[in-house]
Structure 1
Amino acid sequence: MTANKLTKWDVVDHLKTEEDMALYLEACLEENDPALLAASLGDIARARGMAQLARDTGLTREGLYKALSGAGNPSLATIMKVMGALGVKLHAEFKPAHAG
């Protein structure tokens, strides 16, 4: 019997295009989880290059890794600064009212 070799799956390996990144972020936003939003922005930042994002935002790489981890709790200002540097634009829409 041969042993299977497993490798750790990383979403960053699949975020190749801006469309991939937008669809991933949109799916994460649908979960309505602030920690997941921060982590997904962190994944996109890693796919694009964390060092460049640090330069673009004026934040440290270490600070960005911490803030954009699932355990981080970034301020809205940090989220907005990261989104601006990544070129991410969010829009708002009302969801249909629930019946009953």
Structure 2
Amino acid sequence: MSERFLDFDPADLLKSDEAVAVFLAEAFETGDAGHIANALGVAARAKGMTKIARETGLAREQLYKSLSENGNPTLATTLAVLKAIGFEITSKQTAA
């Protein structure tokens, strides 16, 4: 018997805005820039990368590259993508 592996994309699991919100919040809590960029890319794929590219004015290829684990999106790109998927960054004071 041979094992069969299927492709898995976590974007397929993000069916609601609530799921995306939890997914992004958990990513931001890590403080890991690569993980956050990748999570933002997953959320963008869940919403439709073509739609996000059109709304942000950025090329899909640029978005895929920037929003990968090895990507380093600018703050402008991050904010534009968040806005396009219906989210924003807020801040809170942390315990010192």
Question: Whose Rg is larger?
Answer: 1
The answer for the alignment partner of 1:73 in structure 2 is 72
TM-score for the superposition, normalised by structure 2: 0.92
Cα contact 2:79–2:88 (8 A) shared by 1 = no
Amino acid across the alignment from 1:15:
L
Q: Aligned equivalents of 1:80 and 1:90: distance in 2?
A: 8
Amino acid paired to 1:88: F
Identical columns (%): 41
Distance apart, 1:87 and its partner CA: 1.1
Q: In 1, Cα distance between the equivalents of 2:94 and 2:88?
A: 19
- The one-letter amino acid paired with 2:46 is A
Q: Deviations over 1:19-58 (max 9, x none)?
A: 0000000011110011111111100110110001000000
Q: RMSD value over aligned CA atoms?
A: 1.2
Which residues of 2 match residues 61-100 of structure 1 at below 5 A? 61-97=60-96
Q: Which letter does structure 1 place at the counterpart of 2:73?
A: P
Gaps of 5+ in 1: none
Greater shift, 84-93 or 44-53, is seen at 84-93
Q: TM-score, normalised on structure 1?
A: 0.88
Aligned match of 2:43: 44
| Number of aligned residue pairs | 96
